[in-house]
């Protein structure tokens, strides 16, 4: 076993997991960091996530980055599209810009070696869910029309929403309506789906309860087919159940808690799904903490404590005491801690 493979966080059934890492330190450092913290997958932004302007060419280090990820056996790589993208809205200018950005992400994905382009289902902005879904599929169709299909073509992965701000994709039924409309436009096979656990919670799915997770996955399988579930964004949350809010929290420190998280990570129907973390404080050491917790949850161990922040600050504002052999926290006692901290 090499040093690199021994660091890797083991998951059942060959499934893979990794963090969303910010690009601040440069692409190659991001690849090294993912390897260091035991990731087997990775999500990034390909460019500035809060700007419409895209760089005309992929960055020069993209090919070395792609090669390093292959050496480290890290993948699939997901690219999260810019936050501004909204394919479901009625505003023509924003819609055209959104189609352009998605087209751009699709065109640059092969340079990074990305398998998935992750896009939020978007917001109908008052036009109604049905109109929003039609608009979304229209945008997808236009962006994909210029991206050649084939075995290496990236999959556009649509993400569920917690439901704030006229969002679509709030329920499994709405995701199924998107798929049905997309299939009618010949897009089946070019799109996949992502379930974000914090968004499910905000939308009212009580996935702290393993029985509810089983129901959600059974419904997804019945209405869309679980083979279309490509990604899970594994995030705990400090928002209220059904609040339509979305505040990501470190694994096991939010309202979903370790029981629900562990049930998803170990769920026998999800071997083909890749788990990505979008938890807070990735640049403050919480990337390693949350990756370690993926392994802890799978193995049923007490959760790795966070780094030691100044009291009352930072995303881990309620650090857990390092567990002692005498007082090992159970998943239940760890479940509801730290939910006041928000990014």
Question: Least distance (Å) from Zn ion to the CB of residue 6?
Answer: 30
DSSP string, 108-149: HHHHHTEEEEEEE--B-TTS-HHHHHHHHHHHHHHHHHTS--
Determine the Cα–Cα distance for residues 98 and 294; give it in Å rounded to an integer: 34
DSSP string, 78-95: EEEPPTT--TT-S-HHHH
Residue 47 makes CB contacts below 8 A (sequence gap 6+) with 54, 55, 82
Question: Least distance (Å) from Zn ion to the CB of residue 238?
Answer: 15
Contact predicate 280/249, CB 8 Å: yes
Identify which range of 20-28, 129-137, 188-196, 318-326 contacts Zn ion by CB under 5 A.
188-196
Which residue lies nearer to Zn ion by CB, 190 or 248?
248
Which residue lies nearer to Zn ion by CB, 134 or 216?
216
Which residue lies nearer to Zn ion by CB, 40 or 237?
237
Member of 47, 105, 166, 196 binding Zn ion (CB under 5 A): 196
Question: Least distance (Å) from Zn ion to the CB of residue 95?
Answer: 22
Question: Least distance (Å) from Zn ion to the CB of residue 159?
Answer: 5
Determine the Cα–Cα distance for residues 285 and 320; give it in Å rounded to an integer: 15
Relative to beta strand 248-249, strand 236-237 is antiparallel
Question: Least distance (Å) from Zn ion to the CB of residue 278?
Answer: 5
Q: What is the DSSP letter of 13?
A: G
| Binding characters for Zn ion, 294-333, by CB under 5 A (x = yes) | ----------------------------------------
Q: Which one, of 307, 309, 312, 316, lies nearest residue 288 by Cα?
A: 307
| Binding characters for Zn ion, 206-235, by CB under 5 A (x = yes) | ---------------------------x--
Which residue lies nearer to Zn ion by CB, 62 or 200?
200
Identify which range of 8-16, 51-59, 124-132, 275-283 contacts Zn ion by CB under 5 A.
275-283
Q: Which one, of 82, 27, 75, lies nearest residue 54 by Cα?
A: 82
Residue with tokens 């802890």: 296
Question: Least distance (Å) from Zn ion to the CB of residue 148?
Answer: 27
Which residue lies nearer to Zn ion by CB, 134 or 156?
156
Q: What is the DSSP letter of 68?
A: H
Polymer length in residues for the chain: 343
Which residue lies nearer to Zn ion by CB, 65 or 201?
201
The answer to whether residue 166 forms part of the interface with Zn ion (CB under 5 A) is no
| Binding characters for Zn ion, 233-272, by CB under 5 A (x = yes) | x---------------------------------------
Determine the Cα–Cα distance for residues 191 and 119; give it in Å rounded to an integer: 10
Q: What is the DSSP letter of 300?
A: T
Identify which range of 121-129, 150-158, 164-172, 276-284 contacts Zn ion by CB under 5 A.
276-284
310 CB neighbour count, 10 Å cutoff: 7
Contact predicate 341/318, CB 8 Å: yes
Question: Least distance (Å) from Zn ion to the CB of residue 330?
Answer: 28
Which residue lies nearer to Zn ion by CB, 98 or 160?
160
**Taking CB under 5 A as the criterion, which residues in 127-146 touch Zn ion?**
none
For residue 299, give both structure tokens.
Answer: 């193995």
**Taking CB under 5 A as the criterion, which residues in 23-42 touch Zn ion?**
none
Q: Which residues sit at the interface with Zn ion, rule CB under 5 A?
A: 196, 233, 278
């Amino acid at each position: 076993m090499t040093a690199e493979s021994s660091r890797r966080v083991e998951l059942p059934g060959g499934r893979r997991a990794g963090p969303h890492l910010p690009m601040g330190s440069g692409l190659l450092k991001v690849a090294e960091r993912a390897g260091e913290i035991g990731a087997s997958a990775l999500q990034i932004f390909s460019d500035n996530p809060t700007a419409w302007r895209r760089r005309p060419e992929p960055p020069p280090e993209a090919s070395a980055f792609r090669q390093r990820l292959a050496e480290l056996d890290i993948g699939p790589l997901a690219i999260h599209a810019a936050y501004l993208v909204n394919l479901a809205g009625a505003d023509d200018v924003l819609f055209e810009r959104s189609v352009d950005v998605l087209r751009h992400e699709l065109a640059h994905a092969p340079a990074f070696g990305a398998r998935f382009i992750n896009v939020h289902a978007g917001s109908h902005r008052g036009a109604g869910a049905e109109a929003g879904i039609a608009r979304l599929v229209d945008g997808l169709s236009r962006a994909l029309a210029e991206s050649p299909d084939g075995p290496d073509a990236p999959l556009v992965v649509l993400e569920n929403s917690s439901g704030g701000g006229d969002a679509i994709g709030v329920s499994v039924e709405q995701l199924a309506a998107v798929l049905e409309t997309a299939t009618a436009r010949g897009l089946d096979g070019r799109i996949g789906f992502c379930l974000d656990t914090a968004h499910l919670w905000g939308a009212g799915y009580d996935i702290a309860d393993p029985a509810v997770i089983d129901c959600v996955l059974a419904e997804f399988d019945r209405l869309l087919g679980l083979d279309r579930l490509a990604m899970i964004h594994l995030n705990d949350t400090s928002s209220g159940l059904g609040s339509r809010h979305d505040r990501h929290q470190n694994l096991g420190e939010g309202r979903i808690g370790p029981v629900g998280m562990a049930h998803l990570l170990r769920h026998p129907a999800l071997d083909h799904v890749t788990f990505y973390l979008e938890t807070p404080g990735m640049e403050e050491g919480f990337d390693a903490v949350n990756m370690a917790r993926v392994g802890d949850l799978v193995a049923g161990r007490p959760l790795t404590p966070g780094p030691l922040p100044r009291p009352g600050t930072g995303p881990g504002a309620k650090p857990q005491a390092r567990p002692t052999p005498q007082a090992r926290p159970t998943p239940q006692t760890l479940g509801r801690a730290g939910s006041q901290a928000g990014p």
